[in-house]
Structure 1
Amino acid sequence: MPFAVFVLGLAVFAQGTSEFMLSGLVSDIAGDLNVSIPAAGLLTSGFAVGMVVGAPLMALWSRRWARRRALLIFLGVFVAVHVVGAVTPSYGVLLASRVVGAVANAGFWAVALVTAVGMVAPEARARATSVVVGGVTVACVAGVPAGAWLGEQWGWRSAFWAVALVSVPAFFAVARAVPDGGGRGEAGEVSARDEVRVLRGAGLVLTLVTMALVQGATFCAFSYLEPLVTRVTGFGAGWVPVILALFGVGSFVGVSIAGRVGGARPRALVMAGLVALTSGWVALAVAAGSPVAVAGLVCVQGMLAFGTGTALISWVFRLAARAPTLAGAFATAAFNVGGAVGPWAGGLAIGEGFGFRSPVWVSAALMVLALAGAGAALLVVRRDGQPGGWRGAGAEADSEGVAA
């Protein structure tokens, strides 16, 4: 595995910390800025909206750039907006900074995914994807709990300063390690119109919808994990970083498993993951009053959510092998459609008076829809005989490739 792939994972760690850290800070932000907890939760949705809009737009805008240059520009903007977020007294400015930061993050993700996949042989693409996505899981293990701890000790603004500082060494590492070309060819060899044509395939669209629903379920529960564990489960505020770390440990294990076995048995991994995720969210909603059950289920759900999500990203790259620039962008956008809808739906359930367990029930409902979407995608791919869609990596994937 090229060292540059691990460097991309480092940069994603810094950005992933920002994306997820608000789950441990919503109460503090709400109190400091005089807004409701659902309004503070919408900062996560705002970030996700920026990711959705930014991923395809930034991928297209930067497709003629050298990959390293694009990555550095996106990471530089990301650092700047976190400084703004750390000093602003305005909820509106904070929300705007989250959206702009997300657009930059989306551009980085779109370029980073196709760069990582393009630097390795076809049989190693699932592992390269898992290394990049693994940066997010390390953020959940270390960065997000650290952000929650910083917020408890010195206020939520200190977490924003920490993200900006951690991003600086990532910036210099990308500048030093990532080659300009980033892969086995140039994205410009494929026209944007041809890529969009590939992305209109029914099997791919259904797979992207499934990804959005899975991510929606994950973010719906995760965004309101802090009030769940403190106000329903009975954990003290000091336990929030520990619970977040358990989610991160599980997610790291899930990504590692997906990177090792996802290339050989993607259908079995994803379908089993979807069923288990649905059952797990139901179990968490029912057992939310038990500290032991919550601690265990949070870890398991992190493993299932990120393992299944990583396998879904690999599927998208196989189905969209002839759309090298936009495959990563649309995968990023699909995940963040869910990331926008999930916290909104969870906040709506809380706002209607259904309590802090209700976002977990919403997560379970979204997973039922994800199962239906995955089943429909499987039928379409089998019907159309699309190469590389729901089978393991093989000669087809080698011949199709991802033109990076």
Structure 2
Amino acid sequence: MPLALLALAVVAFGIGTTEFATMGLLPQIADGIGVSVPHAGNVVSAYALGVVVGAPLLTGICARVPHKRLLLLLTGLFVIGNTASAVAPDFGTLFAARFLAGLPHGALFGVGAVVASRLVAPERAARAVSKMFLGLTIANIIGVPAATALGQHLGWRAAYGAVAVIGLVAMAALAAFVPHQPRGGQSGIRHELRAMGNKQVAIGLATAVVGFGGFFAVYSYLVPMLTHVTGLSGSSTTWVLALYGVGMTLGTLIAGPLTDRALRPTMYWG
């Protein structure tokens, strides 16, 4: 794997860890800030809200910023959001911090995918993007179980602190290995919002809503269900979280080459 792709995968690893580790630590977070588990689940929604707001907003505002610089700025915002999450004293502050941490999520993946696709020949673009997204899926095998175990032993704040460190490592890797890529084509907030009226974009969004909505409806409360309903111990839940990650990683490894060969059949199969 080219070092630039590896740097992008590290970014995806950090995003995947912070996004999914919250679910693994929901009972600890609820106890730590003095709210119920269902109420604590709103911090998951706060992160998702940040993703929804940040993706078009930051992409539009930073339309003229070169890709490499934008990746560094967005990763810096990611570090700030997770550091704020680690020191949040109450639910309201944690809610705001998770919203802040989610803001760069969509833009990072969007810009990162463009950068990854330009690092290789056009016929290998989907494979390059899938290699970047391997960081996200590997995070669910290693990062999320590790963060969950860390949070169970040292407190949930330690998990967010560790994610902030991952973000700093990612910034260093991006600065060292990702080449400069000029911006091109029409861009801006109006352009981003106009794209929402495109039928293909709308179908893609609807597909994502169904797929991710179904996934997170279960995953967000997976640990409370495993411990309170099925009777698993807290330490055993890390293996179930890792199993989810194995499935995601295998799917990504398979989908990349298949997408390069046959886009529509791969989408239908997925």
* TM-score normalised by structure 2 residue count: 0.93
The CA distance in 1 between the partners of 2:105 and 2:205, in whole Å, is 19
Letter in 1 for 2:93: V
5+ long unaligned stretches in structure 1? 274-404
The CA distance in 2 between the partners of 1:229 and 1:268, in whole Å, is 35
- Provide, for residues 153-203 of structure 1, a one-character-per-residue CA deviation record: whole Å limited to 9, x for no partner: 11111101111112221110001111221xxx532x324456655552223
The CA distance in 1 between the partners of 2:88 and 2:191, in whole Å, is 43
1:222 Cα offset (Å)? 0.6
1:269 Cα offset (Å)? 2.7
Give runs of aligned pairs for residues 125-136 of structure 1, distance below 5 A. 125-136=125-136
Other-structure match for 1:10: 10
1:115 Cα offset (Å)? 1.5
Other-structure match for 2:246: 249
5+ long unaligned stretches in structure 2? none
- How many residues of Structure 1 are paired with residues of Structure 2 in the alignment? 269
Other-structure match for 1:232: 229
Other-structure match for 1:119: 119
- Structure label with greater radius of gyration: 1
SS in 2 for 1:70: helix
Displaced runs of 4+ in structure 1, greater than 3 A? 191-199
Other-structure match for 2:147: 147
Other-structure match for 2:86: 86
Q: Does 1:258 align with 2:258?
A: no
Change (3 A) 1:15 1:180: same
Letter in 1 for 2:186: V
Letter in 2 for 1:190: Q
Letter in 2 for 1:238: S
The CA distance in 2 between the partners of 1:153 and 1:226, in whole Å, is 16
**Which structure is higher in RCO with an 8 Å CA cutoff and minimum separation 6?**
2
The CA distance in 1 between the partners of 2:149 and 2:268, in whole Å, is 36
Letter in 1 for 2:256: G
SS in 1 for 2:115: helix
Change (3 A) 1:126 1:27: same
Letter in 2 for 1:54: G
- Provide, for residues 236-271 of structure 1, a one-character-per-residue CA deviation record: whole Å limited to 9, x for no partner: 111011110111111111100001212223333332
The CA distance in 2 between the partners of 1:77 and 1:194, in whole Å, is 24
- Provide, for residues 277-324 of structure 1, a one-character-per-residue CA deviation record: whole Å limited to 9, x for no partner: xxxxxxxxxxxxxxxxxxxxxxxxxxxxxxxxxxxxxxxxxxxxxxxx
The CA distance in 2 between the partners of 1:118 and 1:39, in whole Å, is 43
The CA distance in 1 between the partners of 2:254 and 2:262, in whole Å, is 11
Other-structure match for 1:352: none
The CA distance in 2 between the partners of 1:159 and 1:145, in whole Å, is 10
For the 8 Å contact 1:55–1:109, the answer to whether it is kept is no
The CA distance in 2 between the partners of 1:42 and 1:196, in whole Å, is 27
Other-structure match for 2:202: 205
SS in 1 for 2:134: helix
Give runs of aligned pairs for residues 232-381 of structure 1, distance below 5 A. 232-273=229-270
Other-structure match for 2:159: 159
**Identical positions, percent:** 38
Q: Which deviates the most, 113-122 or 135-144?
A: 113-122
- Provide, for residues 188-228 of structure 1, a one-character-per-residue CA deviation record: whole Å limited to 9, x for no partner: x3244566555522233112211121111111111111012
Q: Which deviates the most, 115-124 or 32-41?
A: 115-124
Q: Which deviates the most, 1-10 or 204-213?
A: 1-10
For the 8 Å contact 2:66–2:183, the answer to whether it is kept is no
CA RMSD of aligned residues (A): 1.7
Give runs of aligned pairs for residues 58-97 of structure 1, distance below 5 A. 58-97=58-97
SS in 2 for 1:246: helix
Give runs of aligned pairs for residues 377-392 of structure 1, distance below 5 A. none
Other-structure match for 1:324: none
The CA distance in 1 between the partners of 2:24 and 2:194, in whole Å, is 41
Letter in 1 for 2:145: P
For the 8 Å contact 1:67–1:179, the answer to whether it is kept is no
